[in-house]
Amino acid sequence: MENPIPSMYALPIFMGAVAVLIIASMIGWVLKLRFAPEQPHAVIDNLNSRIRAWWWMVGVLAAAFWFDKQGVIILFALLFVVFQAVFAWATPFADGIEAGQGRRTTRSRVYPGIAPAQASARSSPALRSATRSAGSSRSREAPSSPSTAVSTW
């Protein structure tokens, strides 16, 4: 590595972020000492955990900038893969919410590159026939007895 500071434009941004995080960390520390020195306090602990998360985010981004263009490309490629996997996992739940149901529905999306197990389970004939028959006979009314209120995830 010949250049420890890849961009002179990035340095003031990171210095500003570190300065804001130092001030925020000091405020969180003072709040913890003043209002809840030896016991947990939900709001202050939440604030301090968010500040620690921001320290990690700035650190990871600084490390990516340290490795110049390749580091930033690798960081964003990894983030894309993680976000795509989370999206593929959460989409069926959003479909169930849109349909007014509290479970996965039959019109969930499948992303074979991200979730190969989900795609192979979808391709089994037994699952397709069970899904088809269950999806056509369900009503959108509330269950009549507590025994039928069990969610089938």
pLDDT in tens, 106-133: 455 555 555 445 444 545 555 555 555 5
What is the C-alpha to C-alpha distance for residues 32 and 145, in angstroms, rounded to an integer? 49
How far apart are the two ends of the chain, measured CA to CA in Å?
51
Give the pLDDT of residue 119: 46
Average pLDDT over residues 60-71: 89
Please tell me the pTM assigned to this model. Answer: 0.54
What is each CA distance from 4 to 1, 11, 60, 69, in whole angstroms?
7, 11, 16, 13
pLDDT digits (tens, 9 = 90+) for 32-42: 999 988 899 99
Give the pLDDT of residue 29: 95
Average pLDDT over residues 141-152: 50
Average pLDDT over residues 86-90: 84
What letter represents residue 87's amino acid?
F
